[in-house]
Structure 1
Amino acid sequence: MSMEFEGLIFDLDGTLADTMPAHYLSWREITQKHGLKFSEDRFYSLGGVPTSRIFSMLADEQGVSIDPGACAIEKEETFISYLSEVGPIDPVIEVVRENHGKIPMAVATGAMHWVMERILDELDIHHYFTAFVSSEDTVRHKPFPDVFLEAARRLGVTPEKCCVYEDAQLGIEAGKAAGMQVVDVREFHTPRRITAGA
């Protein structure tokens, strides 16, 4: 299907990399440490929202005083300790391999740049992509289309000629708002849940 497109854009967490269980383990560890509640369902509903913004939201809602930026760094450093448990999402990586060298491809993520780099290196897939957009690169984040529009700009492809691969509802909305075709990875990949029956 991708041959009709001139650019492919991939979300990272839960799309290229099966990171969501490891992310939730690290979220649970740090939120509990700071006296915050964060259910696994809520975690999935906020896929694509930058870490520091989620900490701000949780702190405001629960009346807890924290430094969201410092907590975000703590959470991401904890996540890195779980990286050995992270694997590729094979059907998506297959699309990447099939199109490598044929059309330009980008990674567009709500993750911090250094975390994105570590995940791509861990999975040895960095070399497939020619453009990278992380949370530091846009002011507005998913569900706003900015991250995908910036990826298209860096690829040199008009948005309507791009196809986005995404696993989170906010990211799917962002891709559609950017005027791009969107493939919902949840149709063929379900991440393992940490909380039984959640």
Structure 2
Amino acid sequence: MIKAVIFDWDGTLADTRQAIVQASKKALSSVGCNVEDNFIASRIGTGTRTILKDALDSENINYDDKLFDKLSNQKDEIQSKSFEIIRIFDGSVELLEELNGKIAVAVSSMSVRKVVDSLFNHFNLNHYFSVTVAANEVSKPKPNPDVFLATAKKLGINPNNCVVVEDSTYGVESAQRAGMKVIAVPSGTSTKEELLAKKPDLFVESLKEKEKIMDFIFNN
């Protein structure tokens, strides 16, 4: 029986691709690291530290912990204020409204707390979620299961009784490793074919398929 719905944020509830790419590139350019947009976009869902580390390593740029932390903070600060280039996906709010009061709803994000709080406040989303867990509150990023397990623990619900809504293969794998059911939606950087290859419990083309999603949640 499903007792909680856990949403990913970036690419699932909102189109944050441009915000993440622009913030990452601006921070990286300060140390002469210039990577293509797709290099960053393909890593959305793994968190700031993975994106920056992979970019710096790909350009053979040396860095210490102090510089890395500075770049991470710079990227997250820019992203946390990128309101004008972030769009809540059609169907997201309607689905959240439908779930509101019927079941526990949470967010497990690979964005850091500063970003999550800033954007959720701006878009007036906080009241939909009883729990939010951010990237800097767990030790390992997706595809490790840490962020989903931490969310289930905060909810006080067994992972086996949770369903995750995800747009990336990293996130689908993370949820499966946590022992949770998964609804996959190709609204982020992973394609339909890539997501289906991960064998999610349910695949939908978008969150506008509200009836299909609700039926899965309340009849499993």
After TM superposition, is the score higher than 0.5? yes
Question: Which residue of the partner structure matches residue 123 of structure 1?
Answer: 123
Cα distance in 2 for partners of 1:154, 1:6 equals 13
RMSD of the alignment, in Å? 1.7
Q: Write the deviation string for residues 37-82 of structure 1: whole angstroms up to 9, x where unpaired.
A: 3323222321222212322232223211341211011112222342
Q: 2: CA distance between counterparts of 1:28 and 1:61?
A: 14
Aligned residue number for residue 206 of structure 2: 188
Query: For 1:30, which of 27, 31, 35 is the aligned residue?
Result: 27
Q: Which has the higher contact order (CA 8 A, sep 6+)?
A: 1
The amino acid across from 2:169 in the alignment is Q
Shift of 1:146: 1.0
Contact 2:19–2:85 (Cα < 8 Å) also in 1:
yes
Which of the residues 43, 50, 69 maps onto 2:47?
50
The size of the alignment, in residue pairs, is 186
Asked whether the equivalents of residues 53 and 68 of structure 1 are also in contact (C-alpha less than 8 Å), the reply is: no
Pair 1:160 & 2:160 matched: yes
Residue 163 of structure 1, CA deviation: 1.0
Tell me whether 1:63 sits opposite 2:81 in the alignment: no
Moved more, 160-169 or 37-46: 37-46
Structure 2 unaligned segments of length 5 or more: list them.
Answer: 187-204, 208-220
Once the two structures are overlaid, the 10-residue window that deviates more, 25-34 or 68-77, is: 25-34
Quote how far apart the aligned CAs of 1:92 are. Answer: 2.8
The DSSP-based 3-state class of the residue aligned with 2:107 is strand
Paired residue type of 1:117 = D
The DSSP-based 3-state class of the residue aligned with 1:49 is coil
The answer to whether the 8 Å contact 2:17/2:44 transfers is no
Which residue does the alignment assign to 1:106?
A: 106
Deviation at 1:120, TM superposition (A): 0.8
Letter in 1 for 2:47: P
| Residues in 1 aligned to 2:37 and 2:97: alpha-carbon distance in whole angstroms | 32
Q: Does structure 2 conserve the Cα–Cα contact (< 8 Å) formed by 1:9 and 1:106?
A: yes
Provide the C-alpha distance between the structure 1 equivalents of 2:129 and 2:25, rounded to a whole number of angstroms.
31
Percent identical among aligned pairs is 30
Give yes or no for the alignment of 1:20 onto 2:38: no
Partner of 1:95: 95
Change (3 A) 1:151 1:81: closer
Match of 2:30, as an amino acid?
Answer: K
| Residue-by-residue CA offset, 1:142-177 (whole Å, 9 max, x unaligned) | 001111111111112111211111112211110111
Note the residue ranges of structure 1 that are not aligned, 5 or more in a row.
Answer: 190-198
Q: Is the 8 A contact 1:142 1:170 kept in 2?
A: yes
Give the Cα separation in 2 of the matches to 1:159 and 1:104. Answer: 13
